[in-house]
Chains A and B, each alone.
Chain A
Amino acid sequence: QSALTQPASVSGSPGQSITISCTGTSSDVGAYNYVSWYQQHPGKAPKLMIYDVSNRPSGVSNRFSGSKSGNTASLTISGLQAEDEADYYCSSYTSSSTNYVFGTGTKVTVL
């Protein structure tokens, strides 16, 4: 099972919007509405930001939103803030024996 493909880095200025893509296959992202997104600051544990493609857990800012089209999911961060600078990983349930697959990770830089 190969990792989902994400851009290595995305950057934006404070207040701007950025979008991170997450490309999989018809066995994972394309097959299920079970894409989730995680934020990880350096030296910290990952934090759930989006689940089931577009749902936000309680306490997560509404500046974070998720969507999916075909085999590609996306995370959009609007009104970019300095605290959003972190690594972001997508994940999907998969029909393969591994059950779950993560993305390659994207480093978000706030200019």
Chain B
Amino acid sequence: EVQVVESGGGLVQPGGSLRLSCSASGFSFNNYAMNWVRQAPGKGLEWVSGISGSGGSTYYADSVKGRFTISRDNSKNTLYLQMNSLRAEDTAVYYCAKAGNWNVYFDYWGQGTLVTVSS
């Protein structure tokens, strides 16, 4: 059974940093791209960042480029999102999502972890 479980969310002050983790199981982790998708309270879904199976290619939404860094450790089946220079508008539930074939859709999602940026 495919499972992805996020952790690391919490309350952080504006300008602060936070690192999210996503532990995956039930599939060959290094064979699939992974993504982070967020949802602000009461709002829609927003793709944040993606990384290829090998980790050699990374992609970012314009809203987080230069502030967030996605990475993965295939030996630990774990995906990360390092978030720096956090802003109030980064407040959201952050979902880890496994990419489907050809990396054009998201077939398994975690339960999400809440990040709140507030003083």
Contacts and interface: CB of A to CB of B under 8 A. Distances in A.
Interface stretch (B24-32, B75-83, B101-109): B101-109
B interface, over-half SS: strand
Contacts of B112: 45
A89 B45 contact: yes
Given A45-B109, A89-B44, A102-B47, A36 B62 contact: no
Contacts of B95: 45-46
A38 B97 CA distance: 12
B100 interface: yes
A10 interface: no
Contact of A48 (B37, B47, B62, B100): B100
Contact of B47 (A51, A100, A105): A100
Nearest to B109: A45
B115 to A, nearest CB: 16
Interface in B31-57: 35, 37, 44-47, 50
A38 B95 CA distance: 13
Interface of A: 1, 3, 32, 34, 36, 38, 44-48, 51-52, 57, 89, 91, 93, 97-105
Q: Sorted from nearest, which 6 A-B pairs have the closest CB atoms?
A: A36-B105, A34-B104, A100-B47, A45-B109, A51-B105, A105-B44
